Protein backbone atom coordinates (compact mmCIF):
# COMPACT_ATOMS: atom_id res chain seq x y z
CA UNK A 1 0.00 0.00 0.00
CA UNK A 2 1.43 3.37 -0.97
CA UNK A 3 1.32 6.43 1.16
CA UNK A 4 -1.70 8.71 1.21
CA UNK A 5 -1.68 11.56 -1.31
CA UNK A 6 -0.66 14.94 0.11
CA UNK A 7 -3.95 16.51 -0.94
CA UNK A 8 -7.41 15.70 -2.25
CA UNK A 9 -6.65 15.50 -5.96
CA UNK A 10 -10.30 15.72 -6.98
CA UNK A 11 -10.69 19.16 -5.38
CA UNK A 12 -7.37 20.58 -6.43
CA UNK A 13 -6.80 22.86 -9.39
CA UNK A 14 -3.96 22.00 -11.73
CA UNK A 15 -2.25 23.77 -14.58
CA UNK A 16 -1.03 27.32 -15.05
CA UNK A 17 -1.49 29.82 -12.24
CA UNK A 18 -3.75 32.82 -12.77
CA UNK A 19 -2.59 36.34 -11.84
CA UNK A 20 -5.23 36.32 -9.10
CA UNK A 21 -3.84 33.14 -7.55
CA UNK A 22 -0.32 34.53 -7.78
CA UNK A 23 -1.39 37.74 -6.05
CA UNK A 24 -3.14 35.87 -3.23
CA UNK A 25 -0.20 33.57 -2.59
CA UNK A 26 2.39 36.32 -2.79
CA UNK A 27 0.46 38.69 -0.57
CA UNK A 28 -0.18 36.05 2.07
CA UNK A 29 3.42 34.84 2.27
CA UNK A 30 4.79 38.39 2.33
CA UNK A 31 2.56 39.23 5.28
CA UNK A 32 2.47 35.96 7.21
CA UNK A 33 5.27 33.78 5.86
CA UNK A 34 4.71 30.16 4.97
CA UNK A 35 4.09 29.20 8.57
CA UNK A 36 6.27 26.19 8.00
CA UNK A 37 3.33 24.26 6.63
CA UNK A 38 2.78 24.30 2.90
CA UNK A 39 -0.02 21.73 3.02
CA UNK A 40 -2.19 23.99 5.18
CA UNK A 41 -1.30 27.17 3.32
CA UNK A 42 -3.70 26.92 0.35
CA UNK A 43 -6.63 26.33 2.72
CA UNK A 44 -5.76 29.43 4.73
CA UNK A 45 -5.62 31.57 1.59
CA UNK A 46 -8.62 29.95 -0.03
CA UNK A 47 -6.70 28.57 -2.98
CA UNK A 48 -7.76 25.29 -4.56
CA UNK A 49 -4.17 24.24 -5.01
CA UNK A 50 -1.98 21.52 -3.62
CA UNK A 51 0.51 22.70 -1.01
CA UNK A 52 3.35 21.37 -3.08
CA UNK A 53 2.13 23.35 -6.05
CA UNK A 54 2.06 26.55 -3.91
CA UNK A 55 5.57 25.89 -2.67
CA UNK A 56 6.85 25.38 -6.21
CA UNK A 57 5.11 28.49 -7.49
CA UNK A 58 6.56 30.60 -4.69
CA UNK A 59 10.08 29.24 -4.98
CA UNK A 60 10.29 29.26 -8.76
CA UNK A 61 8.31 32.33 -9.70
CA UNK A 62 6.96 34.59 -6.96
CA UNK A 63 9.86 34.68 -4.51
CA UNK A 64 11.62 38.08 -4.42
CA UNK A 65 15.15 38.56 -5.86
CA UNK A 66 14.65 35.94 -8.55
CA UNK A 67 16.76 36.45 -11.66
CA UNK A 68 14.88 36.14 -14.92
CA UNK A 69 16.35 35.84 -18.37
CA UNK A 70 19.42 34.21 -19.84
CA UNK A 71 22.35 32.76 -17.98
CA UNK A 72 25.71 34.48 -18.15
CA UNK A 73 28.94 32.77 -19.28
CA UNK A 74 30.06 32.82 -15.66
CA UNK A 75 26.90 31.02 -14.58
CA UNK A 76 27.39 28.50 -17.41
CA UNK A 77 30.85 27.79 -16.11
CA UNK A 78 29.70 27.35 -12.51
CA UNK A 79 26.90 24.98 -13.57
CA UNK A 80 29.25 22.90 -15.71
CA UNK A 81 31.88 22.60 -13.05
CA UNK A 82 29.41 21.72 -10.32
CA UNK A 83 27.63 19.24 -12.59
CA UNK A 84 30.90 17.43 -13.24
CA UNK A 85 31.75 17.23 -9.55
CA UNK A 86 28.26 16.77 -8.07
CA UNK A 87 26.10 15.33 -10.82
CA UNK A 88 22.44 16.33 -11.05
CA UNK A 89 22.24 17.89 -7.58
CA UNK A 90 20.29 20.82 -8.96
CA UNK A 91 19.35 22.34 -5.63
CA UNK A 92 23.00 22.42 -4.54
CA UNK A 93 24.08 23.86 -7.88
CA UNK A 94 21.31 26.47 -7.75
CA UNK A 95 22.39 27.48 -4.24
CA UNK A 96 25.68 28.69 -5.76
CA UNK A 97 23.80 30.90 -8.23
CA UNK A 98 22.01 33.75 -6.46
CA UNK A 99 18.54 34.36 -7.84
CA UNK A 100 18.38 31.07 -9.72
CA UNK A 101 16.16 28.14 -8.80
CA UNK A 102 16.89 24.46 -9.11
CA UNK A 103 14.16 24.24 -11.75
CA UNK A 104 15.81 27.04 -13.75
CA UNK A 105 19.20 25.36 -13.60
CA UNK A 106 17.77 21.95 -14.45
CA UNK A 107 15.84 23.31 -17.43
CA UNK A 108 18.82 25.31 -18.62
CA UNK A 109 21.09 22.29 -18.41
CA UNK A 110 18.65 19.96 -20.15
CA UNK A 111 17.71 22.31 -22.95
CA UNK A 112 20.89 24.20 -23.72
CA UNK A 113 24.09 23.53 -21.80
CA UNK A 114 24.02 19.77 -22.35
CA UNK A 115 23.62 20.22 -26.10
CA UNK A 116 26.25 22.94 -26.15
CA UNK A 117 28.78 20.70 -24.47
CA UNK A 118 27.82 17.59 -26.41
CA UNK A 119 28.09 19.57 -29.64
CA UNK A 120 31.53 20.74 -28.62
CA UNK A 121 32.53 17.19 -27.77
CA UNK A 122 31.10 15.82 -31.05
CA UNK A 123 33.06 18.41 -33.01
CA UNK A 124 36.22 17.52 -31.14
CA UNK A 125 35.69 13.82 -31.73
CA UNK A 126 35.03 14.45 -35.42
CA UNK A 127 38.28 16.37 -35.71
CA UNK A 128 40.09 13.41 -34.17
CA UNK A 129 38.47 11.01 -36.67
CA UNK A 130 36.20 9.50 -34.05
CA UNK A 131 32.92 8.84 -35.85
CA UNK A 132 31.27 7.48 -32.72
CA UNK A 133 30.85 10.93 -31.16
CA UNK A 134 28.46 9.92 -28.39
CA UNK A 135 28.59 7.72 -25.38
CA UNK A 136 27.67 4.38 -26.91
CA UNK A 137 26.49 2.75 -30.10
CA UNK A 138 25.30 4.49 -33.24
CA UNK A 139 21.89 5.66 -34.46
CA UNK A 140 21.75 2.90 -37.06
CA UNK A 141 22.73 0.20 -34.62
CA UNK A 142 20.83 0.25 -31.33
CA UNK A 143 23.18 -0.59 -28.50
CA UNK A 144 22.90 -4.32 -27.68
CA UNK A 145 24.00 -3.26 -24.23
CA UNK A 146 20.39 -2.51 -23.27
CA UNK A 147 19.34 -6.11 -22.96
CA UNK A 148 22.57 -6.85 -21.11
CA UNK A 149 21.85 -4.13 -18.59
CA UNK A 150 18.32 -5.42 -18.28
CA UNK A 151 19.67 -8.89 -17.53
CA UNK A 152 22.01 -7.54 -14.87
CA UNK A 153 19.40 -5.22 -13.38
CA UNK A 154 16.97 -8.12 -13.17
CA UNK A 155 19.45 -10.32 -11.38
CA UNK A 156 20.45 -7.59 -8.96
CA UNK A 157 16.81 -6.81 -8.33
CA UNK A 158 16.00 -10.45 -7.59
CA UNK A 159 18.97 -10.69 -5.26
CA UNK A 160 17.94 -7.52 -3.46
CA UNK A 161 14.43 -8.89 -3.04
CA UNK A 162 15.79 -12.18 -1.69
CA UNK A 163 17.81 -10.28 0.88
CA UNK A 164 14.88 -8.09 1.84
CA UNK A 165 16.71 -4.98 0.72
CA UNK A 166 15.65 -2.25 -1.69
CA UNK A 167 19.12 -1.87 -3.09
CA UNK A 168 22.26 -3.87 -3.69
CA UNK A 169 25.34 -2.92 -1.73
CA UNK A 170 28.34 -2.48 -4.04
CA UNK A 171 30.22 -5.17 -2.13
CA UNK A 172 27.62 -7.78 -3.13
CA UNK A 173 27.96 -7.11 -6.84
CA UNK A 174 31.17 -9.13 -7.38
CA UNK A 175 29.53 -12.12 -5.64
CA UNK A 176 26.46 -11.83 -7.85
CA UNK A 177 28.54 -11.55 -11.00
CA UNK A 178 30.63 -14.50 -9.87
CA UNK A 179 27.60 -16.73 -9.29
CA UNK A 180 26.09 -15.66 -12.59
CA UNK A 181 29.29 -16.57 -14.40
CA UNK A 182 29.23 -19.99 -12.74
CA UNK A 183 25.72 -20.56 -14.12
CA UNK A 184 26.78 -19.29 -17.53
CA UNK A 185 27.02 -22.21 -19.91
CA UNK A 186 27.13 -20.56 -23.34
CA UNK A 187 29.56 -17.77 -22.45
CA UNK A 188 26.78 -15.21 -22.86
CA UNK A 189 27.27 -13.71 -19.42
CA UNK A 190 30.97 -13.30 -20.02
CA UNK A 191 30.32 -11.54 -23.33
CA UNK A 192 27.75 -9.29 -21.65
CA UNK A 193 30.18 -8.32 -18.92
CA UNK A 194 32.85 -7.55 -21.51
CA UNK A 195 30.36 -5.29 -23.29
CA UNK A 196 29.49 -3.54 -20.05
CA UNK A 197 33.15 -2.98 -19.26
CA UNK A 198 33.64 -1.44 -22.68
CA UNK A 199 30.65 0.83 -22.15
CA UNK A 200 31.92 1.96 -18.76
CA UNK A 201 35.29 2.77 -20.34
CA UNK A 202 33.51 4.85 -22.97
CA UNK A 203 31.53 6.72 -20.32
CA UNK A 204 34.68 7.49 -18.38
CA UNK A 205 36.41 8.62 -21.56
CA UNK A 206 33.40 10.81 -22.41
CA UNK A 207 33.39 12.41 -18.94
CA UNK A 208 37.06 13.14 -19.25
CA UNK A 209 36.58 14.72 -22.70
CA UNK A 210 33.64 16.76 -21.47
CA UNK A 211 35.63 18.11 -18.56
CA UNK A 212 38.55 19.05 -20.80
CA UNK A 213 36.11 20.78 -23.19
CA UNK A 214 34.79 22.83 -20.29
CA UNK A 215 38.29 23.67 -19.12
CA UNK A 216 39.10 24.89 -22.65
CA UNK A 217 35.93 26.98 -22.72
CA UNK A 218 36.71 28.48 -19.32
CA UNK A 219 40.27 29.25 -20.30
CA UNK A 220 39.08 31.12 -23.40
CA UNK A 221 36.79 33.46 -21.41
96-104, 174-182, 191-199, 211-219 -> range binding DNA (CB under 7 A): 96-104
State which residue, 189 or 210, has the beta carbon closest to DNA. 210
State which residue, 161 or 181, has the beta carbon closest to DNA. 161
> Applying CB under 7 A, does 203 fall inside the site for DNA?
no
Residues between 30 and 69 with contacts to DNA, criterion CB under 7 A: 34, 36-40, 49-53, 55-57, 60-61
> Applying CB under 7 A, does 90 fall inside the site for DNA?
yes
**SS3 call for 182:** helix
Identify whether the C-beta of residue 89 lies closer than 8 Å to the C-beta of residue 126: no
> Applying CB under 7 A, does 174 fall inside the site for DNA?
no
CA angle 29, 30, 32 (to 5 degrees): 60
Q: Which residue blocks in the chain are alpha helix, DSSP H? A: 19-32, 41-45, 51-57, 73-86, 90-95, 102-108, 114-127, 145-162, 173-183, 188-219
> Applying CB under 7 A, does 198 fall inside the site for DNA?
no
What is the gyration radius of the CA atoms in the chain, in angstroms? 24
**What is the contact surface with DNA in residues (CB under 7 A)?**
2-4, 6, 9, 13-17, 34, 36-40, 49-53, 55-57, 60-61, 88-92, 102-104, 106-108, 110-112, 115, 166
Amino acid sequence: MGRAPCCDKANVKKGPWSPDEDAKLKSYIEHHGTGGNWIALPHKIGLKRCGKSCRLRWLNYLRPNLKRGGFSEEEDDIICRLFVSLGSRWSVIASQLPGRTDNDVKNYWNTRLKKKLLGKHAKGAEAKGDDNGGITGSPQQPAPIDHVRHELDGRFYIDAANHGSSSVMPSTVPCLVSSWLQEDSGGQALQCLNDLTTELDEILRFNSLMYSSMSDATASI
